[in-house]
Amino acid sequence: MKSVFYGWWIAAASFFIALYVAGIIFFGFTAFFEPIVEEFGWSYTEVSIGVSLRGLEMGILAPLIGFLVDRFGSRKLVLFGVITVGFGLLFLSRTQSLITLYAGFLLLSLGAGGCTSVVLYTAVANWFKRNIGRALGIVACGFGAGGIMVPLVPWLIDAYGWRTALVIFALGMWVLGIPLALVIRDRPEQYGYHLDGDAEAEMVDSGIDSEIAETSFLSVIKSRTLWFIGIAESVRWLILTAVVIHIMPYLSSIGVTRANAAFVAAAVPLLSLIGRFGFGWLADMFNKRYLMAITYCLTGVAMIALSYASAWSAMILFLLFFSMALGGGVTLRGAMLSEYFGRASFGKVLGTIMGVCAIGGIVGPVFAGLTFDTMGSYQLIWLAFAGLTVISVGLILAVGPASAGS
């Protein structure tokens, strides 16, 4: 009986690490927003700035992490990240001022940089070529499955307080994350494997061994393709982070109960599983540029629906379209980068893209918070975000087809 290719075990370990980190730090943190504002009397803008600092793991840190993962491998960085995230959550539980809040998110950002997107996607991309879409889809599903953690967050906060909830999540990070980090391996060649688990003869026949002529990182940086993808994704992240962070405050502002708002916040990442694996499967068969353009269009329609979310029909439309676009975009980004630039510098390339995305990821939540503080409503910013998706569609369609040495 043929054993399971070890690359799939790495994908599975990455799935569960992503599930926990995304569930608590990314999707679940919206539940901490209101308790912190109520305890300290800070404005939504002030707290949004702190939460946005998580985006540094995609920004200043992402390109650096990309270089580090290509240089030292994924295993060491994931282990470092898991341990540091735990300390970051503990630090946040002791918050007494805006300075300590911001410092806590900076520490959390440092840790998340080691055990989220850049490192986990690189870990998996190094083991696959032919099945890259499905493999990355599994990791992306981990981020989406984090939605199952979201209802637990407000429940723990309501039962024990937000500080104790953070301590519990810190301990959980260590208990779950450290063993999973030890499953990660860097490259198949170091352990006697070939890409996708193929035999050497199969690799030659399928052309895998002569993958895209690996492009130097300097050439990649000069590539128009890289920057078109980066800017298109930055717009998407501007929208995504604003929605994820402000979804519960927004729904509360239009009369939705906290319990129902938590349900919606949890439904987004869970429903995104359809897009994460579905678009990953499609990416192995169809043009990735066109698939990515579809996800941007879905995002635009979803934002229009969100602006009228007081009607449940609009809310359902938002949940379906936004979630599918979120999941599909995350999977397709990694698959596109692997197709266009190969795997030799995958960490650096993805890190650079994530760095560009961080501009939107940091600015989006602050703009949303500022809009609510000044206008008392989120509707205008949601409609503005819908218009921005046109930029992403145009840029991704302007990217030429992948070719040797893209």
Q: Quick: pLDDT tens for 8-67.
A: 899 999 999 999 988 888 778 778 878 888 888 888 778 877 776 766 555 667 778 878
Residue 201 has pLDDT above 60, yes or no: no
* Rounded Cα gap, residues 149 and 319, in angstroms: 18
pLDDT score of 405: 42
* Rounded Cα gap, residues 234 and 298, in angstroms: 16
Q: What is the pTM of this model?
A: 0.70
Is the Cα dihedral 57, 272, 304, 393 positive or negative?
positive
> Mind giving me the DSSP string for 230-271?
HHHHHHHHHHHHHHHHHHHHHHHHTT--HHHHHHHHHHHHHH
| Contact of 126 with 344, CB cutoff 8 Å | no
Cα angle value 390/359/186 (rounded, 5°): 105
Q: Which domains does the chain have, with CATH numbers?
A: 6-398 (1.20.1250.20)
What is the amino acid identity at position 200? E
Tokens representing residue 15 in the block: 């799935």
| Contact of 86 with 114, CB cutoff 8 Å | no
**Lowest-confidence range among 69-73, 341-345, 351-355?**
341-345
Instruction: Categorize the per-residue pLDDT at 213 as very low, low, confident or very high, splitting at 50, 70 and 90.
Output: very low
In the chain, the percentage of residues whose pLDDT exceeds 70 is 89
Tokens representing residue 351 in the block: 């890190």
Instruction: Categorize the per-residue pLDDT at 182 as very low, low, confident or very high, splitting at 50, 70 and 90.
Output: very high
Number of Cβ atoms within 10 Å of the Cβ of 188: 20
Helix%, strand%, coil% for the chain, nearest 5: 80, 0, 20
Is the Cα dihedral 225, 231, 235, 238 positive or negative?
positive
pLDDT score of 215: 55
Rg (CA), the chain: 20
Residue 270 has pLDDT above 60, yes or no: yes
Can you point out the beta strands (E) in 141-244?
Answer: none
pLDDT score of 2: 62
Q: What is the mean pLDDT of residues 263-272?
A: 81
Residue 400 has pLDDT above 80, yes or no: no
> Mind giving me the DSSP string for 354-380?
HHHHHHHHHHHHHHHHHHHHHHS-SHH
Q: Across the chain, what does the average pLDDT equal?
A: 82
Burial class (CB in 10 A: 0-12, 13-18, 19+), 274: middle
Tokens representing residue 242 in the block: 């604003």
In the chain, the percentage of residues whose pLDDT exceeds 90 is 23
Q: Which residues contact 251 (CB under 8 A, 6 or more apart)?
A: 260, 261, 264, 309
Q: C-alpha 100: how far from its chain's center? A: 25
* Rounded Cα gap, residues 309 and 303, in angstroms: 10
Residue 300 has pLDDT above 50, yes or no: yes
**Lowest-confidence range among 120-124, 315-319, 362-366?**
362-366
pLDDT score of 57: 56
pLDDT score of 302: 93
Mean pLDDT comparison of 131-140, 236-245, 271-280, highest-scoring range: 236-245
